[in-house]
């Protein structure tokens, strides 16, 4: 473990799940295996509408950084260079492990047992997990036990052989007590902790890019712990702590190279202006050529420029899409098996937004696949009584998200799948003549910069635009229009298979919302009774004072009704998006200018759709897009 002498926000031991709440969105920007990025979003509460409806932004949201440069008004150029000067202070590392107090005991076979330092540390990770559902899964237990034994000394291995005979209860209770103490800190202690966090963020959470101060998204290195992600094969495995020796720093040659923690040195230092990351290290779980990255905040100038280029590339596809579809349709019906497989793969990438699917490194990673790595068992062919032909998909996609879909296909596509599956069995690659490199070369030959991700971005953004046009027609009120937007957002998220795990927190949030609605309904009934009494009193006396009271009571009642409608709308959206990760598509795949144009056209306050964090990320789109913007409109190259 690394003792980072730079200030740490950690008080005591961190939970093994630290950072897991932030992992869902981390891979979406990079389909090349990069990992580690985080989107931290807070839902807007009680925001007031800007007087300029449909185009409002908050002046206070970015007060910790310099006034934003309006880069979108400058000359556009893309020569591959991301920066000319980059300086930062490197990442912040997790604190070194502190041994358990002497009165906190581990038991094996009902007997107290002292553990060696490393074995005890890994045991604490499991003890912290006892309150989570993951810890009861057999694969989690099996993986933990296998990895834990690697950290035991010989004497411990001889004794500890069965996890069922281990008792971690005292350790678990100790950490629950630590967490409880944190919750019950005095106000002075909370202020001190907050000041410490601010000091760390001020020093390590910002960097200088081409003379401008920019926010860094994920400057803290994840502490060691147990893997809790969706990947079944790796669930419960030990995630090693990262040391400075594992880290590659990227900065400009003329900058001050970050100082490594005392007693350590960086693994390497590079000066590559053609990449956007500040530091990287190999993913301790996936290994191979999979890396985690420290990057700039999504609201930074550089990320905004990259987003704009990404969406403009996707828009350029619109002028090529008919030609590409015509060609792959001919390929599907062709005789050459390689060409046929490529045509079917293109069909899947276009119609179902599947990823290309790069070959994975060998090792204990989840069995995730993409288009080129689909195997015989991942699809089934169905001819049903309705006369239609279906392909049934069932496999693990990126981040081990299940992809289950039953799709009606044309006869030609069905027949092509039949031919491709001939003489194959479980375990055989479906597209045995096609690999990711070959498919990517073909994509590039059709249009410069074309990738499967560009297809996903194009189809997701087109889905949003089309659905907004369809669903807004019948929407009369602002509430109905906002629901229409979320339905369109959901359609795009479903296309991209953006899912999230349901949890107790989701259920608790739903219960809390229902309770608020019930309380609001009761308050409305009480307000109605109060108003009736006030009206009767006014009818008796007809005094100005009584008239004012009636007006006040009416305003109170209308406000309560509006609050109830808002809660009910939130409940509807929560139900509809319970298992759909709407924000993933919104952040990474939906051109924000489509949303901004829709808001301006229908006079919907932008804060009703974009959170403060999203408004900061998409400030360029909010200013650039007029109500006439169309994703499929004519564009200039960017």
Catalytic residue among 126, 174, 311, 589: 589
Token pair belonging to 509: 């949030």
Q: What share of the chain is helix, strand, coil (3-state, %, to 5)?
A: 50, 10, 40
**Rounded Cα gap, residues 246 and 210, in angstroms:** 27
Q: Residue written as tokens 């296998």?
A: 146
Q: Which of 425, 454, 432, 413 is nearest to 591 (CA)?
A: 454
Instruction: Name 13's bridge partners.
Output: none
Are 228 and 130 in contact, with CB atoms under 8 Å apart?
no
Question: C-alpha 506: how far from its chain's center?
Answer: 16
| 3-class secondary structure, 394 | strand
**Rounded Cα gap, residues 19 and 320, in angstroms:** 41
Our answer to whether residue 174 is catalytic in this structure is: no
Q: Which of 297, 268, 82 is nearest to 207 (CA)?
A: 297
- 253's CB contacts (< 8 A; 6+ apart) are 271
How many other C-beta atoms lie within 10 A of the C-beta of residue 18? 17
φ, ψ (nearest 5 deg) of residue 625: -80, 130
Triad 321, 325, 328: Cα angle to 5° = 140
φ, ψ (nearest 5 deg) of residue 315: -70, -35
**Rounded Cα gap, residues 202 and 488, in angstroms:** 39
Q: Which of 177, 450, 185 is nearest to 315 (CA)?
A: 450
**Rounded Cα gap, residues 586 and 596, in angstroms:** 12
Radius of gyration of the CA atoms of the chain, in A: 28
**Rounded Cα gap, residues 67 and 616, in angstroms:** 12
**Rounded Cα gap, residues 568 and 588, in angstroms:** 28
Are 345 and 434 in contact, with CB atoms under 8 Å apart?
yes
Are 349 and 459 in contact, with CB atoms under 8 Å apart?
no
Please identify every residue annotated as catalytic: 589
């Amino acid at each position: 473990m690394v003792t980072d002498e730079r200030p740490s926000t950690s008080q005591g031991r961190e939970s093994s799940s630290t950072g897991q709440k932030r992992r869902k969105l981390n891979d979406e920007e990079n389909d090349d295996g990069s990992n580690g990025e985080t989107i931290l979003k807070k839902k807007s509460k009680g925001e007031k509408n800007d007087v300029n409806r449909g185009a409002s932004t908050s002046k206070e949201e970015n007060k910790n950084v310099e006034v934003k440069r309006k880069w979108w008004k400058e000359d556009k150029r893309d020569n591959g260079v991301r920066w000319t000067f980059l300086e930062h202070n490197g990442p912040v590392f997790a604190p070194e492990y502190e041994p358990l107090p002497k009165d906190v005991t581990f038991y094996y076979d009902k007997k107290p047992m002292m553990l060696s330092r490393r074995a005890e540390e890994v045991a604490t990770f499991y003890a912290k997990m006892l309150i989570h559902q993951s810890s009861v899964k057999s694969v989690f237990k099996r993986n933990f036990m296998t990895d834990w034994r690697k950290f035991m000394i010989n004497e411990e291995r001889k004794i500890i052989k069965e996890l069922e005979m281990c008792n971690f209860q005292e350790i678990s209770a100790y950490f629950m007590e630590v967490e409880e103490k944190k919750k019950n800190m005095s106000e002075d202690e909370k202020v001190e902790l907050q000041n410490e966090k601010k000091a760390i963020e001020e020093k390590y959470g910002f960097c200088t890019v081409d003379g401008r101060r920019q926010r860094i998204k994920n400057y803290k290195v994840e502490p060691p712990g147990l893997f809790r992600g969706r990947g079944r094969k790796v669930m419960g495995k030990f995630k090693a702590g990262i040391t400075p020796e594992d880290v590659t720093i990227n900065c400009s040659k003329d900058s001050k190279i970050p100082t490594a923690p005392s007693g350590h040195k960086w693994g390497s230092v590079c000066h590559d202006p053609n990449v956007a990351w500040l530091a990287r290290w190999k993913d301790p779980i996936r290994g191979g050529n999979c890396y985690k990255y420290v990057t700039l905040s999504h609201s930074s100038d550089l990320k905004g420029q990259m987003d704009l280029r990404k969406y403009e590339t996707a828009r350029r596809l619109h002028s090529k899409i008919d030609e590409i579809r015509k060609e792959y349709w001919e390929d599907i019906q062709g005789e050459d098996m390689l060409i046929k497989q490529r045509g079917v793969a293109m069909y899947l990438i276009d119609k179902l937004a599947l990823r290309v699917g790069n070959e994975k490194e060998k090792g204990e990673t989840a069995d995730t696949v993409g288009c080129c790595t689909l195997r015989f068992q991942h699809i089934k062919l169905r001819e049903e009584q309705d006369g239609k032909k279906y392909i049934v998909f069932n496999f693990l996609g990126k981040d081990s998200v299940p992809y289950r879909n039953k799709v009606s296909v044309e006869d030609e596509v069905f027949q092509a799948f039949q031919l491709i599956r001939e003489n194959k069995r479980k375990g055989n690659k479906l597209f045995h003549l096609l690999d990711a490199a070959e498919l990517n070369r073909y994509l590039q030959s059709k249009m410069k910069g074309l990738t499967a991700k560009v297809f996903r971005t194009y189809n997701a953004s087109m889905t949003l635009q089309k659905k907004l046009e369809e669903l807004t027609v019948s929407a009369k009120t602002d509430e109905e229009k906002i629901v229409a937007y979320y339905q369109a957002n959901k359609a795009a998220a479903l296309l991209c298979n953006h899912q999230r795990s349901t949890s107790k927190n989701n259920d608790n949030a739903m219960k809390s919302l229902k309770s608020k609605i019930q309380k609001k309904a009761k308050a409305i009934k009480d307000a109605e009774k109060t108003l009736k009494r006030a009206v009767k009193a006014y009818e008796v006396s007809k005094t100005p004072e009584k008239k004012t009271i009636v007006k006040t009571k009416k305003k109170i009642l209308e406000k309560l009704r509006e609050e109830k409608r808002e809660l009910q709308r939130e409940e509807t959206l929560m139900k509809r998006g319970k298992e759909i990760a709407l924000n993933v598509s919104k952040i990474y795949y939906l051109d924000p200018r489509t949303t901004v144009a829709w808001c301006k056209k229908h006079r919907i306050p932008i804060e009703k759709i974009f959170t403060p964090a999203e408004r900061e990320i998409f400030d360029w789109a909010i200013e650039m897009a007029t109500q006439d913007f169309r994703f499929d409109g004519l564009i200039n190259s960017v």
